[in-house]
Amino acid sequence: MHRSFRYQETWLHKVNPSLKLLSLLILFLAALFINNPNVLVNFAILLTIILFAFSGHPFKRVFWIAFPFFFISLTTAIPMILFGTGEEQWIHWGIIQVSKESFIRGLHIGLRAFAFSLLGLLFSLTTRPVYLFYSLMQQLKLSPKYAYSFMAGIRLIPIMIAEFQTIRSALKVRGIQKRSGLKGVYHMMQTYSIALLSQSIRRAHRMAVAMEAKRFKSSAQRTFYYQLGFSYLDWLWIGLVILMVPAIYLTGMHFPYIPITDVRG
């Protein structure tokens, strides 16, 4: 069963996918070197605003998509908060030691993980995979045989999900009951994996034969169904990214939420 979510296309969807990918990768690398938690807070807040304002998806859907990533970031921060070391101790109960330093470092790690997930969500919710691969072929000169292979692989995911649901329905019709315990888990994995793998291998073979027939192995120049280029919206996106970096840095330095500028100190 194929499902698609309706969304409103915003200007961020029309930004060139390769340009968007490269700019978000630069922001990803920049976030790795941010050691000021105040700057990281501003970075996460700004990304959250952009995600909710320009993703084109309803507020509730974006919230529930982002919530698991927030929870993962929180669980990433908790071990550092509870078991880190520091001079100014707040709580000491058994093996749990919460200090000011461990709390700040844990908060910093959690914020960084959440910022990474927001960058990924911003890209995935505003970029069509087909446009991304066409842009990679046209702007970054990715070989068509790799681009079309990735696109074919992505198209296989909903087909495999539909096959999984078909197998599950067939098992229910035949009255096969789920077994409990580890043996039951092993039996179910065996039942599903053999059928899914055999179908996937057959499909992959047919796809490889079709791609060879279409001369995807040759290095001849190919034409593209979608022609992707640059527009004024790409300059708008670049301007936003360029303005964002000094804005979050200066705001974090001059209007700090916590009186610490470097978590390494």
- pLDDT band per the 50, 70, 90 thresholds, residue 218: low
pLDDT at residue 4 tops 80 = no
Mean pLDDT of 204-225: 79
Task: Show Cβ contacts of residue 238 under 8 Å, excluding neighbours closer than 6 positions.
Answer: 19, 23
**Model confidence over 72-114: pLDDT tens digits?**
999 998 888 888 777 778 888 888 888 888 888 889 999 999 9
pLDDT at residue 145 tops 60 = yes
The phi-psi region of residue 57 (left if phi > 0; otherwise alpha if psi is between -120 and 50; otherwise beta) is beta
As a whole number of angstroms, the distance between CA 89 and CA 99 comes to 4
pLDDT at residue 60 tops 90 = yes
Q: Is 33 exposed, middle or buried (0-12, 13-18, 19+ CB in 10 A)?
A: exposed
Provide the pLDDT for residue 29: 93
Q: Is 64 exposed, middle or buried (0-12, 13-18, 19+ CB in 10 A)?
A: exposed
- pLDDT band per the 50, 70, 90 thresholds, residue 2: low
- pTM comes to 0.81
